[in-house]
Amino acid sequence: EKRNHIRPELISAIRSSKIAIILLSRNYASSKWCLDELVEIMKCKEELDQTALPIFYDVEPSQVKKLTGDFGKVFRKTCAGRSNEETERWRQALVDVATTAGYHSINWFVLLISSCARFFL
């Protein structure tokens, strides 16, 4: 039997964390579990002032925010047959995470080079 919600132990772990690192990819929204966890993480960011650090891997923050491109297609597929309330919670969490300061994978090479330069200079 599949559960409809994330496990209480996972919710407790999210709530007791100081920082949440969210790795968003083109297929992130294909997982109901990831979306439910994201809702909880963003709730804790708002209510408990936890730090949420999104990392956008092979997806643009604007695609996450506006649900466009492959990310949007995957999201719409996951939402099929779900309640409006549930999909709206997911949608709002995605908007929130997309507008949170984070890192984009296209900048990793630049970050790596600048980190190495500081190390050797």
**List of residues 6+ apart from 113 with CB closer than 8 A:** none
First to last CA, the chain: 58
Which of 1, 9, 37, 88 is labelled catalytic? 37
Report the distance separating Cα 8 and Cα 98, nearest Å: 26
Q: For 101, which DSSP code?
A: -
Q: Which helix (H) or strand (E) holds 24?
A: strand 19-24
pLDDT digits (tens, 9 = 90+) for 39-80: 999 999 999 999 999 999 889 999 999 999 999 999 999 999
- Is 9 noted as a catalytic residue in this protein? no
pTM of the model as a whole? 0.81
Quote the pLDDT of residue 121.
46
Report the distance separating Cα 64 and Cα 49, nearest Å: 22
**Residue with token string 């923050």:** 61
